[in-house]
Amino acid sequence: MRIATWNINSVRLRVEHVLAYLRDVAPDVLCLQEIKCQDEAFPRGEFETAGYNVAVHGQKSYNGVAILSKAPMEWTARLPGDEADEQARYLEAVIPFGAGSARVGCLYLPNGNPLGTEKYTYKLAWMDRLILHAREMLKNEEVFVLAGDYNVIPDARDVYDPALWTGDALYALPTRQKFRELLALGFTDALRATTDEAKQYTFWDYQAGCWPKNQGLRIDHLLLSPQAADRLVGVKIDRDMRAKDKPSDHTPVRVELRD
């Protein structure tokens, strides 16, 4: 099973990019974040015509997540733990895989900037909710992949200039500690299971020539349960999608799991 994640930064603006990726890479599952549209405005028909089932949890103008799957899926929206939270940031699906199934969580974790504001408090609280939910899901002892834009730079290898980011919510120590707490539940960072190399970026800002200068960040991650990690074949950052005309500022990342 090939599972990919991609912050598309407005799906309606980049339908053709997604369709090209589905055609050329043919992931079994594609998790999209920051779709920036309500459910009824999501380009479902184009993706269904391409051979994918669609689950979408949208929001007007902001946030929003979707899962595209070749196989039919059972899905639920929203991250447990705060019924008052109206931001569309989490979607979870159970998808046939081999003789059983795989559970895939698609997440768009809050940015949290600036530090010292309610936005950062919300980010940390959201991470606490994710940790609690992930702990419960791990009890199922199943193939479980948490994929998405975490808005977390795990360590210095994952940012072009760590000193510039010490005051940013993506790299602040409490953020990284929460990410490590999530990993400590038993998850494997898929990319770091395959390489220790620095500069494995997934995001390059539109400003200041960040893309041609390779001034990037690694903030899009696929975390694997022990049962998923046992099946890991490889990881690929599809950098070429960032070089397209009018691209997202993120590029897809994918894992391959053996049956």
Q: What is the mean pLDDT of each run of 10 residues along the chain (259 residues)?
A: 98 98 98 98 98 98 98 97 97 96 98 98 98 98 98 98 97 98 98 98 95 98 98 98 97 98
Could you tell me if residue 226 is inside a domain? yes
- Whole-angstrom Cα Rg for the chain: 17
pLDDT for res 208: 80
Could you tell me if residue 174 is inside a domain? yes
Distance CA 88, CA 206 (A): 24
Find, among 155, 214, 140, 240, the residue nearest to 189 by Cα: 155
Per-residue tokens: 160? 């072009």
pLDDT for res 144: 98
Q: Which of 149, 158, 168, 189 is catalytic?
A: 149
Could you tell me if residue 11 is inside a domain? yes
pLDDT for res 186: 98
Spatial contact of 123 and 171, defined as CB atoms under 8 Å apart: no
Could you tell me if residue 21 is inside a domain? yes
Q: Binding site: what residues are annotated?
A: 7, 34, 149, 151, 249-250
Could you tell me if residue 258 is inside a domain? no
* φ and ψ at residue 53, rounded to 5 degrees: -80, 150
Q: Binding site for Mg(2+): what residues are annotated?
A: 7, 34, 149, 151, 249-250
Q: Which of 108, 150, 171, 201 is catalytic?
A: 108
What is the domain-level CATH number for residue 211?
3.60.10.10
Which residues span the domain enclosing 159? 2-251
Q: What is the DSSP string of the chain?
A: -EEEEEE-S-GGGSHHHHHHHHHHT--SEEEEE---S-GGGS-HHHHHHTT-EEEEE--SSS--EEEEESS--EEEES-TT-TT-----EEEEEEEETTEEEEEEEEE----PSTTSHHHHHHHHHHHHHHHHHHHHHTT-SEEEEEEE-----SGGGBS-GGGGTTSTTT-HHHHHHHHHHHHTT-EETGGGT---S---SB--SSTTTTTTT--B--EEEEE-HHHHTTEEEEEE-GGGGGSSS--SB--EEEEE--
The string of pLDDT tens digits covering residues 175-216 is 999 999 999 999 999 999 999 999 999 999 999 899 999 999
Could you tell me if residue 186 is inside a domain? yes
Residue 250 catalytic? yes
Could you tell me if residue 232 is inside a domain? yes
| Tokens 């050329």, located at residue | 24
Residue 149 catalytic? yes
Could you tell me if residue 259 is inside a domain? no
Domain count, the chain: 1
Q: Which of 17, 57, 221, 250 is catalytic?
A: 250
